[in-house]
Structure 1
Amino acid sequence: MKLFKTSIFILAISMSFLTHAQENEISNENTVDKKTYYQKRAVEDAKYEQEFVAENKKEEEAFWNDQKDYEESLRKKDRKAYRAYMKGKKDAYAEHYEHCNNHCHHSEYYYHHASFYYHGYGYYERYPRRRSIINTGVRVNTPSVRLGLF
């Protein structure tokens, strides 16, 4: 009876280690999936942005501001997800640019944001905003004293 209890105990412990090892593998897959998820999401968002037609200027401005706010909140919340998202956006915009040429009619908001994906993203990541520094020049004038014979 004692041998039976011991073998059950060893079996239970080994099963718990196996399930724990499988949970670690699943969590590693989630990390990889997060990167691919944000890249796919970026491609979908870019496609939607390229096909977006607003009713008026106010609606278009609100749309682009919402998109900018989303990217900013993602950057603050999760840097790796933000980088994956921006890389996906940059690739999608580059692919669209190759076949867009003159037959696409996008708004100036679109071109403004598209230029950010081409040029601004790399610069923004390498040189993040720094705090403002105010330089004040303080100058103290002192009277000049001259000595002379005449």
Structure 2
Amino acid sequence: MRAVRFPLMVLACSSWFGTFTQNQNHTVNGFRFYEKLAQRDADYEQSILLLSNQDESDYWVDQRMYERDLGKMNFTSYLVYMKGKKDAYKEHLKSCTHDKPHSELYFQKAKEYLSLSDTDFFSIQNTGKVTQSDMKK
């Protein structure tokens, strides 16, 4: 009887471990998807230059709705996505070459993604690390 139990235990444990590692890989790949999506979205947001104020405003409303819905559907993925956005915005601030001006809406969202207070954000703006556009409304 013992001779039969041991192989059955090994078989059960190996199938459980295989299922566990597949779930872990799926979770990690899902998180990587949201990290890449956040980077892609941040790259697009940093390139929004030629849109009218209304088009840009519509984009930000849609983006906020997407983030809210993602948070409701899968909060962990939402956190991964928002961390990816924060990292992308930090990286952009480090490497901004001042050749592409950003709009006021962009600065408002950047402040939200970076979790900066008004004084912190404006001190970064005033040091010349970020360029602001002079778009008329």
| TM-score, with length taken from structure 2 | 0.69
The match for 1:47 is: 43
User: Secondary structure, in 3 states, of the residue corresponding to 1:25?
Assistant: helix
Q: Which portions of structure 1, spanning 4 or more consecutive aligned residues, are displaced by more than 6 angstroms?
A: 10-14
| Residue 54 of structure 2 corresponds to residue 58 of structure 1 | yes
Structure-1 separation of matches of 2:48 and 2:81: 19
Identity percentage over the alignment? 33
TM superposition shift of 1:118: 1.2
- How is 1:1-150 mapped onto 2 (pairs within 5 angstroms)? 18-100=14-96, 102-119=98-115
Checking the alignment, whether the CA contact within 8 Å between 2:70 and 2:77 is kept in structure 1 is yes
Q: Give the number of the structure whose alpha-carbon radius of gyration is greater.
A: 1
Checking the alignment, whether the CA contact within 8 Å between 1:54 and 1:60 is kept in structure 2 is no
| TM-score, with length taken from structure 1 | 0.64
Aligned length: 115
RMSD of Structure 2 on Structure 1 (CA): 2.7
Q: Please, which runs of 5 or more residues in structure 1 have no aligned partner? A: 1-9, 121-150
1:78-104 deviations in whole A, cap 9, x for unaligned?
111111111110010011011215322
Q: Please, which runs of 5 or more residues in structure 2 have no aligned partner? A: 1-5, 117-137
Name the amino acid aligned to 1:53: L
1:62-87 deviations in whole A, cap 9, x for unaligned?
11110111111111221111111111
